[in-house]
Chain A
Amino acid sequence: MSQSAGRIQFPAGMSFTREYHAMLKIRNSRDFVGGVTMICVGLLFIWFGRELEVGNSFQMGPGYFPTMLSLLLMAIGALIVVQSLMVDAEAGDPETWNWKAYFLVILGPIGFGLALAGLGLAPTMLLLIVGVATASRYANWRHSILLGLFLAACSVLLFTKLLSLPVSAFGPWIPFIGELF
């Protein structure tokens, strides 16, 4: 009887020694990465703002506010890291990745920006639509090209004709048609 009285009763399933050794295990890798990212963002802003004059609280320089915020962001990032070591991740939906879609959807606008001045609005729009449409697994070429032609025509009508944006329908890279417009 005295044996059990002298022992501390832990709740079922809890073992102290193992818990202690596993203290520095990353329990929530998503949060761990997130916290580290926030610390890095803070460091980046401090580094790129190192020449800004910080000043003091009475005469705040241009660097005061961003530097204080960067330090705050790093502190929050550190807390997130600490939390990720202590608290287990909740079971959620498994992460799905679709690299083809990310690649196309992000490169689309960049390509649009690079080609706009040279190709003009109509061909750029057509290429953008057809290009990003292939990111979908339900896309088919006929639909994409029709949609691209339709949107190219609409955007030229709306933006270069009606709202007179300084961009021509066909740019200098397209020799013959470009001169007609």
Chain B
Amino acid sequence: MDIFSNLWLGASTAFMPMNLFYGFIGCLLGTAIGVLPGLGPTATIAMLLPITFGLPPESALIMLAGIFYGAQYGGSTTAILINLPGESSSVVTAIDGYQMARNGRAGAALATAALGSFFAGTVATILLAVAAPPLAAVALNFGPAEYFSLMVLGLVASVALASGSLLKAFAMIVFGLILGTVGTDVESGTPRYVFDIPELYDGLNFVAVSMGIFGICEILRNLEGEHERSVGVKRVTGLMLTRQDIKRIIAPVLRGTALGSFLGILPGGGAMLASFASYAMEKRISPNRAEFGKGAIEGVAAPESANNAGAQTSFIPMLTLGIPGNPVMALMVGAMIIQGITPGPNVISDEPALFWGMIVSMWSGNLMLVILNLPLIGLWVKMLTVPYHLLFPAIIGFCCIGAYSINNSVFDVFVMAGFSVIGFALSKMRFEPAPLLLGFILGPMLEENLRRAMLISQGDPSIFVRSPLSLSLLIFAVVVLALVLSPSISRKREEAFTE
């Protein structure tokens, strides 16, 4: 069996002591940022990217992935204990999880979240291992026209599934694509928008850009409505689930995992959408739906399984096609590029140790997270009390050194400061920064494939509809767009995000 030899290869990479160590560090950091107030996985990964430059690619990506799914675990802890979701994907967990904690069942809620997440993580890992190679094999036959259409589909879908105004999200994508053209044009060698600044000839550094629009910008917004938080639950006891609990969570966990895995694969989907959708579904079909909002264990089990499954399956398009579906995946693509790996379908065949190592590390990471979260819960409760006014100066300090260390030049620190202003101005006008980062990462690839395709067809744009594969990708993009624009669906979309 091919898949077993591949998984064996992955296990031998993932269980190397060094990779286990970095995986552990990633999970630890992920849980910490999930617990700490006002610090999301996107900002943290951006902040830590410069440190990973010196690591081997496997260790770097294993650690970054650990931060991402670790944050899903940590975010649920704060949601349950103090009714403040540490992550956007844990927002719905707070509804019933906090009620359970108030009823003295915080331990059961935490155990449900951790075990549900672990189960979902295991299933998603298997799905990733089974689905990724054939998907990549299809993508290997892609020419420039197909790639262009695929990226268009990815960008359109990422907008369609996100919350907020469609037009504004498109504006952000286009703005990001334009920012991606800054620097030397690869084909002609002409410098574009560099204003004779030598540092700009390589383009804007994406680490500095993302630290600005996610890291610093988040701090600016948090300081607007700053308030100290109080921790109601000081001690957590009773982590064991009763037989009754287990009986009640099996079906929600299974449904949450299935829905989350599916939504995670879609561009723009991922953890947050998965948790919202699965909570909404449980609320409708659960036999105990009357208890929802008053501490129903299903209301914790389903969204927590779904967000972890979604977080993990969102790696599928990134690893097999090189198309990031959310900003965290965009940063992972950037991390790969920095490590000298070209993201895309070739990763599986060119870097099998990296690919399979990452997959196996996700499973081992989930196991570590259960251990980290359940017995060590006391530590995380302590961490909840770290006040924000001590945390944010440290984040800024870390971002500054991080930006400096990219090229050992203060220019990137100024780029970061500049983009924090841009990001903040955009957020004041209610433009989401996430599509901008996707556009920025995909911009150069999109342009290159467009130019190659047009060169092949001698300037005839019909090349994009003559290839059946490219045509179907574009039709799919149009269908997605039409679906979102249709009134009934858009109303549902609003509902899903406001609930």
Docked Cα-Cα span, A60 to B414, in Å, equals 33
Q: How large is the interface on B (under 10, 10 to 19, 20 to 34, 35 or more residues)?
A: 35 or more
Q: Which of B361-420 contact A (CB under 8 A)?
A: 387-390, 392-394, 396-397, 399-401, 403-405, 408, 410-411, 413-414, 416-417, 420
Q: Does B199 contact A (CB under 8 A)?
A: no
- Chain A residue at minimum C-beta to C-beta distance from B191: A62
Of B167, B219, B226, B430, the contact of A105 (CB 8 Å cutoff)? B219
Docked Cα-Cα span, A168 to B459, in Å, equals 55
Docked Cα-Cα span, A65 to B430, in Å, equals 27
Asked if B168 and A34 sit within 8 Å, CB to CB, the answer is yes
A81: min CB distance to chain B, Å? 10
Q: How large is the interface on A (under 10, 10 to 19, 20 to 34, 35 or more residues)?
A: 35 or more
Q: Does B24 contact A (CB under 8 A)?
A: no
Contact flags B447-485 to A (C-beta < 8 A → 1, else 0):
100110011001101000000000000000000000000
Chain B neighbourhood of A57, CB < 8 A: 454, 459, 461
Chain B neighbourhood of A151, CB < 8 A: 393-394, 397
Docked Cα-Cα span, A76 to B185, in Å, equals 25
Of A79, A102, A125, A135, the contact of B167 (CB 8 Å cutoff)? A79
Q: Does A129 contact B (CB under 8 A)?
A: yes
- Chain B residue at minimum C-beta to C-beta distance from A58: B459
- The segment from A1-9, A13-21, A137-145, A173-181 found at the interface with B is A137-145
- Chain A residue at minimum C-beta to C-beta distance from B396: A132
Contact flags B248-286 to A (C-beta < 8 A → 1, else 0):
000000000000000000000000000000000000000
Docked Cα-Cα span, A58 to B451, in Å, equals 8
- The segment from B139-147, B172-180, B351-359 found at the interface with A is B172-180
Docked Cα-Cα span, A125 to B168, in Å, equals 38
Chain B neighbourhood of A149, CB < 8 A: none
**Apart from the given pairs A33-B429, A34-B429, A167-B408, 18 other A-B contacts in the complex at a CB distance below 8 Å:** A31-B429, A34-B430, A49-B192, A57-B461, A60-B454, A66-B193, A69-B178, A80-B171, A96-B225, A109-B403, A109-B416, A128-B393, A138-B226, A144-B393, A151-B397, A163-B51, A163-B54, A165-B405
What are 26 A-B pairs at a CB distance below 8 A? A30-B430, A33-B429, A34-B168, A34-B171, A34-B430, A38-B171, A45-B178, A57-B454, A60-B450, A62-B190, A65-B181, A65-B450, A70-B178, A73-B171, A83-B167, A98-B224, A106-B220, A109-B399, A112-B410, A121-B401, A132-B392, A133-B392, A136-B389, A138-B387, A143-B390, A165-B405
Kindly list the 9 A-B residue pairs having the minimum CB-CB distance in the complex, ordered from nearest: A58-B459, A136-B389, A34-B429, A113-B410, A62-B185, A101-B223, A113-B413, A62-B190, A138-B389
